[in-house]
Amino acid sequence: MRYEIELISPVHVGSGGTISPIEYVVEDKFYRADMDGLFEDERFETDRFIEGAKGGALYLGEFAPELTKEHLRYALDIPQSTRTSLQGLIGSRSSEVREHIKTKDEVYIPGSSVKGALRTAILWWVLKNDADKFNRAKSHLKSLVRQRNRVDKRWVDDKIEEFVFGKDPTKDIFKALQVSDTSAVGVGSLEIEEVRTLTTTPRGHNWKNFYTFVEALKPKTRLELEMKVDEFLLEGDAAGELHFESKKGLVREIPEICNEFVNDFIEDEIRFFKQYNTPGELDKVLDFYEKVRGRREEKSFLLHLAWGSGWHGMTVGRLLEKETDFDFFGVRKKFSLGKRRNQPFFVREFPKTRRIVFKDGKPKYPLGWVKIKIGDLR
């Protein structure tokens, strides 16, 4: 079945690469050069460019701005305040721009990003509503805390996912859910965004002294997605063989599960931003969440995905924090979650940071919020 994804806030899915100042010019737009074309142009001073690049501080905008525009890979919108910030940082590491994943310079959201966000929501929902599985999760974490040897925190939740989704990949209920990459759209749907990291303080909040610039899909962008449940695996002998009988609802009731997860998530974020909103600098972020909370439409659900979704968006930590009979601080201490750098103590609030998109020099909204409309669009 086909679904439509509408972006509510910017979405960045990293390609793993960055765009350095030797590849772009920032003026009215963000111009990314076709470097092969530049090097083939006899007017381009290749030797001087290479010598300058060896110094590590070459900016293409000071070397060949007009020639760059003749050999463009693409040009993206960049808000004036973001342009000013980026230009002021050229020469530093912060002037690298994180690239969004593309195929032939068309932009999409991978199905794996969507499926990962769905999996997080379902994991949270199962542990919230199944006392036995939640108790098993807590027992597992307690056993890890008691271990004297070091435990890699990247694999902490593997055991929990096993008894929620299935013992191994061949018996994982998500095997019955097929999610495609979204449709691709033109590179013009991207914009350069300035992202800063908020960190809590006893008196409110501060901003970390580094900037991150990303290519991100613009809000209101619409993409199409194919999502299908393999009913064959959920019925009869196949369901028995794979132990899927009791898990069918997890892939058949995705909209309801995701909306319940998002409701809880948003309430927690509203609490966070109200608590640290001094002196009213975070009003627009709060306004965003208030509007998203009220944005409920029939046959649709919300999802928080990709880069910037944060620790709470990717784990079930909120459930553990609220358990009075569970030593959540012990888990944090074991895995150094929320430990102050170069200090022996931990912050009270965890997680204490949020990545926020800035517009006109002010914090506006978080990354990664989308609405998925249910139904065949053909």
For 248-288, write each residue's pLDDT tens digit. 899 999 999 999 999 999 999 999 999 999 889 999 999 99
Burial of 60 (0-12, 13-18, 19+ CB in 10 A): buried
Confidence check: pLDDT of 130 > 80: yes
- pLDDT tier at 326, thresholds 50, 70, 90: confident
What pTM was computed for the model? 0.90
Residue 339 DSSP one-character state:
B
8 Å CB contact between 150 and 333: no
DSSP string, 23-80: GEEESSSEEEE-HHHHHH-TTS-HHHHHHHHHTT---HHHH-HHHHHHSEEEEEB--H
Q: b or e along 31-52 (b: 16 or more beta carbons within 10 Å of the residue's beta carbon)?
A: bbbbbeebeeeeebeeeebeeb
For residue 298, pLDDT over 90 is answered with no
Instruction: Say whether pLDDT at 339 is over 70.
Output: no
Instruction: Give the pLDDT confidence of 26-85 residue by residue, as tens digits.
Output: 999 999 999 999 999 999 999 988 888 877 778 999 999 999 999 999 999 999 999 999
Beta pairing, strands 190-201 & 353-359 = antiparallel
How is residue 322 annotated by DSSP?
Answer: T
Q: Quick check: 103 and 296 in contact, CB under 8 A?
A: no
Q: How many residues does the chain have?
A: 378
Which of 38-47, 109-118, 343-352 bottoms out in mean pLDDT, i.e. has the lowest? Answer: 343-352
- Which of 171-175, 240-244, 311-315 shows the lowest per-residue confidence on average (mean pLDDT)? 311-315
pLDDT-derived band at 313, boundaries 50, 70, 90: very low
* 232 DSSP assignment: G
pLDDT band at 346 (very low <50, low <70, confident <90, very high): low
What pLDDT is stored for residue 315 in this prediction? 63
Kind of pairing, strands 24-26 and 30-33? antiparallel
The whole-angstrom separation of Cα 160 and Cα 158 is 5
Q: How far apart are the first and last CA of the chain?
A: 9
